Amino acid sequence: MNKKYKISLIMATLGREIEVRNFIESLLVQNYKNYELIIVDQNDGDFIKKISDEYRGKMDIVYIYSEKKGLSLSRNLGLKHVSGDIIAFPDDDCEYSQGMLERIIDKFENENIDIVTFKSIDKISEADSNNKWESTTQEVSIFNIFKTSISYTIFIKVKNIKDISFDEKLGVGAYFGSAEESDMLSNLLSKSYKSKYYPNIFAYHPIKIEVSDRYFEYALGMGAFVKKEVFYRKNYKYFFKGFQYIFIRPIGGLILSLLKFRIKSAKRYKGIFLGRLLGFIKY
């Protein structure tokens, strides 16, 4: 295994302690050791700093404290401190599977690609988590982006560090509360970065039981993403796909839920529709 690639892992963290420790432990057992962990701490208190200091002698750790809270903002702050050839953005509640980094590096070494993406599963049940993942290896495009990537399953080979950035109006902590990683990845694809998805590589992430009041925040981000894709990146071919996301899918889910007298589900789909529409209008 060629050790020429150094991986910079940028982890923005807020409100988690045990999970951060678990992620670090999953790094320590990786076969591939040429990496740095950049922790961007948004917490009040020093518990993350203490964890960072505890593991500093066991791995290359860069600790950064951010007074401002926001996922995209923190990741952009971390990007200013990278020294690696490959960049990734682990969540503060994910873990890496055994040998995962080695398999990713193998893809970069043996295939003509700039970005590797893969799936996530729940560590206990081994069921797919946080997505309806594609089952076959394939190139990543704007049309399959939501089934082939999520923030912590994206690894990017650095061509020009200025290409890699997050829209700070998107993501957790911002008004448009999601889709920041899809927006970042789409921007790279528009710059002719080649990306490939591998379903046989996986990270661990617990299956999220979404809180009802966050559906609306997430939906705002999706609506904003569609607007950026069609009107800012001028990808007019995406218009119908975006129309499906904003109108057809949530309205179809709303009607079906009402027909089956699933009131809670109907309220959820109503919130998703209104959020996506508002996100599209307001971005």
In this prediction, residues 56-79 reach a mean pLDDT of 96
Q: What local confidence, expressed as pLDDT, does residue 215 receive?
A: 85
DSSP of 47-98, one letter per residue? HHHHHHHHHTTTSEEEEEE-SS--HHHHHHHHHTT---SEEE---TT-EEPT
Q: What local confidence, expressed as pLDDT, does residue 211 receive?
A: 54
Q: What is the location of CATH 3.90.550.10 in the chain?
A: 7-204
**152: its two tokens:** 């912590």
Terminal Cα-to-Cα distance of the chain (whole angstroms):
45
φ, ψ of residue 282 in degrees (nearest 5): -85, -20
φ, ψ of residue 30 in degrees (nearest 5): -70, 145
With a threshold of 0.85, does the pTM exceed it? Answer: yes
**34: its two tokens:** 């040429």
Does the pLDDT at position 106 exceed 60?
Answer: yes
CATH of 7-204 among 1.10.10.60, 3.40.50.620, 3.90.550.10, 3.30.1600.10: 3.90.550.10
Tens digits of residue pLDDT in 148-200: 999 999 999 999 999 999 999 999 999 999 999 999 999 999 999 999 999 99
- 80 in Cβ contact with 1 (< 8 Å): no
Q: What local confidence, expressed as pLDDT, does residue 54 receive?
A: 96
Nearest CA to 84 out of 38, 149, 24, 40 is that of 38
Does the pLDDT at position 2 exceed 60?
Answer: no
Does the pLDDT at position 212 exceed 60?
Answer: no
